[in-house]
């Protein structure tokens, strides 16, 4: 790849493998009932902080430098799975997702710092940050929309509540939680089967001082 070539990239944090597997197992319960959607594989579940679009190869290192600087000032923090939601008209949901509980607003603060840090490099977000894990996207040209309310009812019916979800994960407490300890720069490759992701840089958070 030459310096003039570009990649499609975004900044993200990832759930733990255990949480990703848990969510993947949970949605299997109703994937067959929603054939009009393309479901995200558990290994690809992530929280997008900022979509960068096409990035020149020569621009990767400066972005990574900004992310490293930001990450060095952040200590690992906890997130938990939240409530179901949709993007698109209420009765014709184009995207099915689950939000993320962030009571201390650590993820929100991180997202704000990333947005501000990348502005000098010419990156400006086209939408406000909404912390969520995308679970499924509507297939192009396929019928069978699910309503926003219908998706929420399905999620509630199968998962009941976060206490049950946590029990499935073998955890204790009131929610299925995980610790975020790094942020990543990700290359997105579009294929007929859906997007494939490759982490091209990872910025670890500051060590916890005990």
| Tens of pLDDT, residues 28-86 | 766 766 777 888 999 999 999 999 999 999 999 999 999 999 999 999 999 988 877 77
- Structural domains of the chain ordered from first start: 6-203 (3.90.1140.10)
pLDDT, block means (10 residues), the chain with 210 residues: 78 93 76 78 95 95 98 95 74 80 94 97 92 87 58 59 48 68 95 86 88
DSSP 32-59: TT-TTEEEPPGGG--EEEEEEEEEEGGG
- DSSP tag of 92: S
pLDDT of residue 161: 44
- Residue partners of 15: CB distance under 8 A and separation at least 6: 23, 45, 46, 47, 79, 133, 178
**Pair 185, 200: CB distance under 8 Å:** yes
- Exactly one of 40, 132, 136, 184 is catalytic; name it: 132
pLDDT of residue 192: 76
Annotated catalytic, 201?
no
Mean pLDDT, all residues of the chain: 83
pTM of the complete model: 0.84
pLDDT of residue 195: 82
pLDDT of residue 29: 63
pLDDT of residue 154: 63
Annotated catalytic, 109?
no
pLDDT of residue 158: 54
pLDDT of residue 141: 61
- Exactly one of 46, 137, 138, 171 is catalytic; name it: 46
Q: What's the alpha-carbon Rg for the chain, to the nearest Å?
A: 18
Neighbour tally for 3: CB within 10 Å: 8
Strand partners, 132: 99
């Amino acid at each position: 790849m030459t310096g003039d070539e570009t990649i499609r990239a975004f900044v993200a944090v990832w759930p733990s493998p255990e949480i990703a597997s848990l969510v993947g197992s949970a949605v299997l319960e109703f994937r067959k009932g929603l054939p009009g959607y393309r479901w995200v594989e558990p290994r690809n579940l992530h929280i997008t902080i900022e979509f960068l679009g096409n990035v020149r190869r020569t621009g990767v290192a400066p972005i990574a430098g900004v992310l490293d600087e930001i990450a060095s000032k952040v200590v690992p923090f906890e997130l938990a799975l939240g409530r179901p939601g949709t993007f698109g008209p209420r009765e014709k949901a184009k995207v099915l997702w689950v939000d993320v509980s962030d009571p201390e607003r650590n993820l929100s603060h991180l997202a704000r710092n990333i947005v501000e840090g990348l502005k000098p490099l010419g990156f400006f977000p086209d939408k406000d940050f909404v912390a969520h894990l995308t679970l499924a996207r509507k297939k192009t040209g396929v019928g069978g929309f699910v309503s926003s309310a219908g998706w929420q009812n399905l999620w509630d019916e199968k998962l009941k509540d976060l206490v049950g979800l946590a029990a499935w994960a073998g955890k204790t407490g009131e929610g299925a939680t995980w610790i975020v300890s790094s942020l990543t720069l990700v290359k997105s490759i579009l294929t007929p089967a859906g997007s494939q992701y490759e982490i091209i840089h990872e910025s670890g958070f500051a060590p916890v001082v005990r």
